[in-house]
Amino acid sequence: MLYSETMQKSLINILSVMALAATSFAEKTHQCKVQASDLAAERRIMERVLSEPNIKPEEVMSQLMLSRYELGKFDASVGEEILTAKSYPLPNSDLKVSVAVFYTDERIPSADSVSLALLIGPKAEENPLEAIGASVMETNLENDTFILQVRQDIKLKGVTWRVSMQCFCSTLEERKKLLLKRDEDEKKLREKEPGKK
């Protein structure tokens, strides 16, 4: 059976849109890390920085690192409808930290998007995005997106902890190149405007 020219064009357009949707996400991974920070200890460190202007940055960083516990690192695969979920034990407790990263182009109109979820609970959750009580963030994913973060605070044995997951969408070097290119492009635009330099 032969298709009319209009049907053939429609079919080509549909296939083109499907191919574009399938390739809209770059084939790569985002590096994610999950950590817990003692908020009171961090506050004391910052107060010390404010009261001692000559404190060495290395000393500040070493003290900050002592107030933070890295729970884990993982690579989240970037792609249409891909869910990466992990769970980690929360130190000095019986609790689990469940995290998830989910990429799609269906949640935010006309944009690739990413959702992050973090849940602290008595057991590991397979998909914290669907769990009651989870902290969830959702945003569109642009070429210049650098860091995504979701967090949840919890008080354990009198200490307030901030548990967070950060996902790095580009390296610092990639970020610098992108910002330099953006500055160059803006400068060229300003030079083209009449009467402006």
HSE-CB for 30 with a 13 A CA cutoff: 30
Q: 195 vs 159, 187, 190, 192, CA distance in Å? A: 60, 14, 9, 9
Task: Report the SS3 class of residue 161.
Answer: strand
Which residues of the chain carry a pLDDT beneath 70? Answer: 1-27, 106-111, 143-144, 170-172, 174-176, 178-179, 194-197
Whole-number pLDDT of residue 54: 87
pLDDT digits (tens, 9 = 90+) for 55-81: 888 888 888 888 889 999 999 888 778
Amino acid 134: pLDDT: 94
- The answer to whether 100 and 127 have CB atoms below 8 angstroms apart is yes
What is the structure's pLDDT at 19?
Answer: 38
Distance CA 138, CA 129 (A): 10
Integer-rounded Cα Rg, in Å, for the chain is 23
DSSP 7-19: HHHHHHHHHHHHH
DSSP 8-state assignment for residue 27: S
Q: For residue 90, which of 17, 161, 18, 25 has the smallest C-alpha distance?
A: 161
Contact predicate 63/45, CB 8 Å: yes
The span from the CA of 91 to the CA of 97, in Å, is: 10
Provide the pLDDT for residue 106: 65
- Read off the pTM: 0.69
